């Protein structure tokens, strides 16, 4: 069974690449020396692997980046100043509620635990109270009888 392989079989001699056949319709692809593209000479002393642009461009990019960071910090400070953090106790649920509120509008931006969790907890507490009161009522009836 023949298995195709990229390696030559043991004991065979590799002759290398076969010569290319020239066709009559082929187009010449070599350019004259004046039109050839060559690699620019490299500075052995000043060779750098740094991908950043040299000189003024790198400094300008650093200034732009620093300006953007400062602008983002100013925006973040403005947002922090317009928000207020509150810790309140929800009596129905029996939990502490952490809220972040917009000072201007009074709108709750973030809350932990969420409103749904508070409602479920309040419902569960109320159901537990009803069961306790019903159990206490049945015990009173038994004692009277």
Predicted pLDDT at 71: 94
The β-bridge partners of 114 are none
Least confident of 23-27, 42-46, 81-85, 109-113: 42-46
Predicted pLDDT at 143: 57
Tell me the average pLDDT across 31-51. Answer: 67
Which of residues 102 and 53 earns the better pLDDT score?
102
Which of residues 16 and 70 earns the better pLDDT score?
70
Tell me the average pLDDT across 77-105. Answer: 88
CA distance 115 to 117: 5
Domain boundaries, the chain: 54-144
CA distance 117 to 100: 17
Predicted pLDDT at 125: 92
Predicted pLDDT at 48: 53
pLDDT in tens, 119-134: 999 999 999 999 988 8
Give pTM, 2 decimals.
0.41
CA distance 14 to 4: 16
Is the separation of the CB atoms in 88 and 95 below 8 Å? no
Which of residues 73 and 144 earns the better pLDDT score?
73
Nearest Cα to 98, choosing from 76, 120, 83?
Answer: 83
Predicted pLDDT at 65: 92
Predicted pLDDT at 106: 87
Q: What percent of the chain has pLDDT over 90?
A: 23
């Amino acid at each position: 069974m023949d298995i195709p392989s990229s390696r030559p079989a043991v004991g065979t001699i590799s002759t290398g690449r076969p010569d290319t056949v020239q066709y009559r319709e082929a187009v010449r692809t070599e350019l004259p020396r004046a039109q050839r593209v060559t690699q620019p000479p490299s500075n052995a002393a000043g060779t750098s692997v740094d991908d950043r642009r040299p000189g003024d461009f790198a400094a300008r990019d650093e200034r732009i980046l620093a300006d953007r960071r400062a602008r983002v910090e100013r925006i973040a400070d403005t947002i922090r100043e317009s928000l207020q953090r509150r810790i309140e106790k929800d009596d129905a649920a029996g939990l502490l509620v952490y809220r972040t509120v917009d000072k201007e509008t009074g709108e709750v931006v973030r809350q932990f635990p969420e409103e749904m969790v508070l409602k479920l907890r309040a419902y569960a507490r109320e159901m537990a109270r009803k069961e306790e009161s019903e159990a206490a009522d049945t015990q009173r009836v038994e004692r009277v009888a």
